[in-house]
A and B are shown apart, each in its own frame.
Chain A
Amino acid sequence: MRLLNRDDWYDIGRDLDWTLTYVDHAEAFPDSWSGNGVVPAAAWDAWDEPYRVTYHDYVSVQREKEGGAHAVREALKRANIFHKLDPAHTASSQMHMGTTCMVEQMAITMQSRFCRFAPTPRWRNLGVYGMLDEIRHTQLDMAFSHDLLKDDQSFDWCQKAFHSNEWAVIAIRNFFDDVMLNADCMEAAIATSLTVEHGFTNIQFVALAADAMEAGDIDFSNLLSSIQTDESRHAQCGFPAVEILMKHDPKRAQHIFDVSFWRSFRLFQTLTGISMDYYTPLHQRKMSFKEFMMEWVVTQHERTIRDVGLQKPWYWDEFLACLDHGHHAMQLGTWMYRPTLFWNPNAGVSRAERKWLNSKYPGWEDSWGVIWDEIIRNVNDGAAEKTVGATLPALCNVTHLPIGAHWDRHHVSKQMSVYKGRTYYFDSNVSKWIFDSNPERYAGSTNVVERFLAGQIQPMDLGGAVQWMGLTPDVMGDDAYKYRWAAEYKSPVPMAAE
């Protein structure tokens, strides 16, 4: 039997819908899941998929991709390249696996929600492929990490991280609980598909894949590239959704965008910022995190904002200023609290690296060098214990990240709100604004400091906290190069050699 051409049936297929008679439409598609809100039913006729795909096309393309990805994986398993990789780079892939794999898993649920509850059958149809994509991403991460378990137990955190109380994982889980698991379809489309996937991760995967290839980690690079081809496709589902919401409820669309942009940015400072400017070996760095953000992420978001009629978030200038800083704060913080990590962080402040940092960030020495100097002095004085945080940092009640860590030491300020008798602190005036605009949404969660004070962490010291976070001695973070980089600071370098 000859198959019909796609275009002969696609338009009928994508509009396949039922006129419900046994239940109310509102019961079958509750607003709390569809997020339809004030959008009139007829408006959905304007929802046009940004790409067309049929199950037949999808399966044959994905089959090829899977075949390719696993062929490389199998070949590299035999080549045993892991031990030849720079330990600083290895930390990037371990951090990625632990902080991303279960987000892919959460994305399956989000895409399944599109399949079932999206307000138009066209979108529900595409949700099926998005869901299958995210299953594939989760499984690829798991397979990659499983292969490397024999080399390094840190890869166990690919699966373990999201079942632990590790602080960075709590921050990430909190955000994705909010914009993937708890969000209705409209909100998920704008916060996750448009802002996170299209605006950040899609591009980040390209950059990470390039860095990994440069570092000789063909296996990781190959995995990221394969995943990215799916992301760039299904992330586009955010566009028709935001276009419709802009016509009928632009205020809501803007609010979702402003909130999710800041929260994604804070996580990107934490993960990608550190990875690019500190973990990527110096001679392999192509772009600084700021240059990367300016050239790709900022441009991408500016184009999106313009194309769909959104405004730049009100904090845009502050966001641009923070591009020079926040990830340096997160680098310092993660390195100082290294026993709370499941990877070995590179300090990344040897004289040569420092020169590079100063060339990319002219204010680096004054904001960050001062602090690293004190750390280096302690390392070289044999007082490395003084370079590990001895008490918990104050944490934000929205992002769950350390207060002050979005900018630098000249911009740490008390930002707080009192809601129903409880005091909440924030890492920035933007996070405070996020909380104040919808306190009920954030008020119920407690951060690590509050859980500590509530007695959930025993014994009540940093050792107890590390144990509570699930860190075991075999994976607990320590300096990637065992502090060898600090030795060169023992002798002052003549100016000419700098």
Chain B
Amino acid sequence: MALFPLYGYFKGDYIPRLIAVDTDDTFAQVAGKIAEHTVGRTLPNDPRAKGYVVTIDDEIIDPAEILGARVAAQKVQPLHWVDVNFAY
């Protein structure tokens, strides 16, 4: 369990932001922490959406995957750019 900084960008928003997540977080939780700064703040919620989809370096990430595993595999560095969008 450790704090981990990412650059999170929610598709359609105007800026990416520094997002503090935890290495124990699933990517579903990571997505939620990124979306929190956009949905209901700078973009309206989309009632048709079924959660969020996370993309890192063009790869769609399994929402159940744990961030820490990807960090240990050196596939995610501090301040890595993480894209989030509504899932349909």
Contacts and interface: CB of A to CB of B under 8 A. Distances in A.
Given A404-B16, A409-B14, A425-B7, A416 B42 contact: no
A404 B15 CA distance: 5
Given A391-B37, A394-B7, A425-B81, A375 B16 contact: no
Given A333-B15, A391-B37, A394-B18, A370 B43 contact: yes
A390 B5 CA distance: 15
A392 B17 contact: yes
Nearest to A403: B16
Given A404-B16, A405-B15, A412 B9 contact: yes
A378 B44 CA distance: 11
A371 B79 contact: no
B47 interface: no
B14 A374 contact: no
Interface in A339-387: 368, 370-371, 373-375, 377-378, 386-387
Which of B15, B42, B43, B78 counts the most chain A CB atoms within 10 A?
A: B15
Decide if the interface of chain B is mainly helix, strand, loop or mixed. loop
B69 to A, nearest CB: 21
Contacts of B13: 371, 409, 412
Interface of A: 329, 332-333, 336, 368, 370-371, 373-375, 377-378, 386-387, 389-394, 402-405, 408-409, 412, 414, 416, 423, 425, 449, 452-453
Interface of B: 5, 7, 9, 12-20, 37, 40-44, 77-79, 81
A374 B15 contact: no
Nearest to A392: B18
Contacts of B20: 391
20 contacts: A333-B15, A336-B42, A374-B44, A375-B41, A377-B44, A378-B41, A386-B40, A391-B19, A393-B16, A402-B15, A403-B16, A404-B14, A404-B16, A409-B14, A412-B15, A416-B81, A423-B77, A425-B7, A449-B18, A453-B79
A452 B12 CA distance: 26
A4 B58 CA distance: 75
A412 B85 CA distance: 14
B30 to A, nearest CB: 14
Nearest to A390: B37
Nearest to A395: B18
A93 to B, nearest CB: 27
A408 B5 CA distance: 25
B14 A412 contact: yes
Nearest to A333: B15
Shortest beta-carbon contacts, A-B, top 7: A394-B16, A392-B18, A409-B14, A394-B7, A414-B81, A393-B15, A404-B15
B15 A452 contact: no
B67 to A, nearest CB: 17
Contact of A452 (B7, B18, B44): B18
A374 B42 CA distance: 6
A371 B81 contact: no
A389 B15 CA distance: 11
Contacts of A405: 14-15
Given A371-B14, A371-B43, A408-B14, 20 more contacts: A332-B14, A370-B43, A371-B13, A371-B42, A375-B41, A377-B44, A386-B40, A387-B41, A394-B16, A394-B18, A409-B13, A412-B13, A412-B16, A414-B9, A414-B81, A423-B79, A449-B18, A452-B18, A453-B18, A453-B79
A393 to B, nearest CB: 5
Contacts of A333: 14-15
A417 B41 CA distance: 31
A332 B43 CA distance: 13
A223 B84 CA distance: 49
Contacts of B81: 414, 416, 425
Nearest to A405: B15
A414 B5 CA distance: 16
Nearest to B57: A414
Contacts of B12: 409
Contact of B79 (A378, A387, A425): A425
A16 to B, nearest CB: 54
A399 to B, nearest CB: 13
A287 B40 CA distance: 34
A304 to B, nearest CB: 32
A299 to B, nearest CB: 30
Contacts of A370: 43-44
B78 to A, nearest CB: 7
B14 A449 contact: no
Contacts of A336: 42
Contacts of A453: 5, 18, 78-79
Nearest to A387: B41
